[in-house]
Structure 1
Amino acid sequence: MSVSGIEAISGFTPLVPTTVTSAQAGPTATGGADSDFGKMVLDGIDRLEGVTDKTDQLAVKAATGDLNAIHDYTIAATEASVTTQLTVAVRNKAVEAFNEIMRMQV
């Protein structure tokens, strides 16, 4: 799935890789799938922090009158809101999956 139209806006890059190489195709003997997922989660959290930092900076500029185009803040605030909602939804699904695994009988 490509989001090339969105990538041009604000330097957006998707969280999932667009191409899968043979090294990424499956788990390896060293636990590659686990570390790839962990890296993806950490990368997503870092991006969320970056988006919220950018929004905070633009909010300060808007409040002090240094922001020439208010739509820049509006776009950044909406992007931060959507990113936060996505992060919370992923977290909720992960917790739900963990709880379901813990309820399994061995």
Structure 2
Amino acid sequence: MSVSGIEAVGFSPMTPPVVAPTQGNQVTGSSGFADLVLDGIDRLESVQNRADGLAVQAATGDLGAIHDYTIAATEAAVTTQLTVAVRNKAVEAFTEIMRMPI
């Protein structure tokens, strides 16, 4: 599945971070790694909240098309799996950095 296929499902592609000139060891600019992580967690939460809301509508019979819930639930599951995979890679990278000799 290509990136354009993901867009059709409702995912918005992440824009690459803007790397600003550095001063010493700190990056100056508004888009840092922490901002990207927080934005990703916010997106995950909104996708899960949408799926939860549609699940309630499906359970109460207020949902007109069940496929809307199915798509939202699958999107939430895939987003969660992606978030966990990124977290695992970050932890793995941190562990490798900590093993490096000084």
For each residue in 1:13-52, what CA deviation from the matched residue of structure 2 results, as whole angstroms up to 9, or x when unmatched?
11233xx7xxx2455224248x522111111100000000
Q: Specify the SS of the correspondent of 1:71.
A: helix
The one-letter amino acid paired with 1:71 is H
Deviation, structure 1 residue 9: 4.0
- Alignment: residue pair count: 99
Gap change, CA 1:96 and 1:5, over 3 Å in 2: closer
In angstroms, what is the RMSD of aligned CA positions? 2.4
Give 4+ residue runs of structure 1 displaced > 6 Å after superposition. none
1:76 matched to 2:72? The reply is: yes
* Cα offset, 1:58, TM superposition: 0.2
- 1:82 and 1:32 map into 2 onto residues whose CA distance is 33
Q: How far apart, in 2, do the equivalents of 1:96 and 1:56 lie?
A: 31
TM-score by length of 1: 0.80
Q: In 2, distance between residues paired with 1:94 and 1:5? A: 26
Contact 2:20–2:27 (8 Å) recurs in 1 = no
Q: What is the alpha-carbon distance in structure 2 between the residues aligned to residue 88 and residue 27 of structure 1?
A: 31
Specify the alignment match of 1:57 in structure 2: 53
Q: What are structure 2's unaligned runs of at least 5 residues?
A: none
* TM-score, normalization by structure 2: 0.82
Identity of aligned residues (%): 69
- Residue 16 (1) aligns with residue 10 (2): no
Distance 1:103 1:27, change over 3 A: farther
